Structure 1
Amino acid sequence: MHHDEMIGKIQALAQLPDRGSTERATLAVLRTLGERLPAGLADHVAAQLPPDLAACLRRMTESAAAAGRDAGSGERFDLIAFTGRIADRAGTTDDAALREAAAVLEVLDAALAPELMDKIAAALPVDIGALLPVGRATGDLDRRASREGKS
């Protein structure tokens, strides 16, 4: 999916007033997602994004490596911290950040390979994973429950 198409879809889904606020929101979500995902997974996501959006994720993995964090795991934080970081970066409220994150994740679900989205869903905690499109989030919860021996 091309950059303009992604931004247009995110703008419509998040009900943002203009492209500038949509760009800010999208970069804030991608940056925060990049902090939460293992570096290798974030790099795979970046490889399937338009160059300017990919650069945002790659900067996060580079700064994580420079900080000495393990490339095999992302930072551990919950939905409250996730939306708080997005709100700070986008200059918006936590409620708006939640809506923007859900919109970006929905567009990513359409833009990325399904196997990659499955890996993202598996890497996120349940509370952040609930922002994924309904089918993906539900499927991930079902997979987690079966791994844990629950039905």
Structure 2
Amino acid sequence: MKHDEFVGDVQHRLELASRGEAIRATRAVLETLGERLQADEAADLAGPLPMEIDRFLHAADSGQLFDFDEYVARVSQRARVEPAEAAFYAKVVVDVVEDAVPDTELDDVTAQLPAGYDELFELLGDDSYY
């Protein structure tokens, strides 16, 4: 998947007015995910993503331990949206990532996160919401 396609998918699925908003949402979600994952897993997830997108995972201070509520709070702050909207942003961006990476890669990510993160992956494979 190329950068323009990735950002366009995020913009379309989140119904955002601009590509800039889509990039901000993507950065918020992936930087925060990169903080929660171990560095090697963040790098593995970043590998198949477009270069302009993978940097958000590489730039994160990986290996931090925080729950899903804190994840959403960080995304909310970075994306400058309310927490409920940030949770939806996170689900949609992860769903777009799923379209761009091998299935085994997201299996590795989910294996590294506690059960409280299940909500993050609930849109995977569900095309009915957009």
Distance 2:36 2:54 in 1: 15
The alignment's C-alpha RMSD in Å is 1.6
1:82 equivalent among 71, 77, 95:
71
Aligned residue runs from structure 1 range 12-51, under 5 A: 12-51=12-51
Q: Counterpart of 1:80 in structure 2: which amino acid?
A: D
Deviation per CA, 1:69-98: give whole Å up to 9, x if none.
xxxxx2111111001000111111111111
Number of the residue aligned with 1:4 = 4
Number of the residue aligned with 1:54 = 54
What is the total number of aligned residue pairs between the two structures? 125
Aligned residue runs from structure 1 range 85-104, under 5 A: 85-104=74-93
1:109 and 1:133 in contact (8 A); partners too: no
2:92 and 2:123 in contact (8 A); partners too: no
Aligned residue runs from structure 1 range 134-145, under 5 A: 134=123
For the structure 1 residues 92 and 41, does the alpha-carbon distance in structure 2 shift closer, same or farther, using more than 3 Å as the test? same
TM-score of the superposition, structure 1-length normalised?
Answer: 0.77
1:41 and 1:120 in contact (8 A); partners too: yes
2:95 and 2:124 in contact (8 A); partners too: no
Task: Report the structure number with the largest CA radius of gyration.
Answer: 1
Q: Counterpart of 1:56 in structure 2: which amino acid?
A: F
TM-score of the superposition, structure 2-length normalised?
Answer: 0.88
Q: Counterpart of 1:130 in structure 2: which amino acid?
A: E
Give the drift of 1:135: 6.0
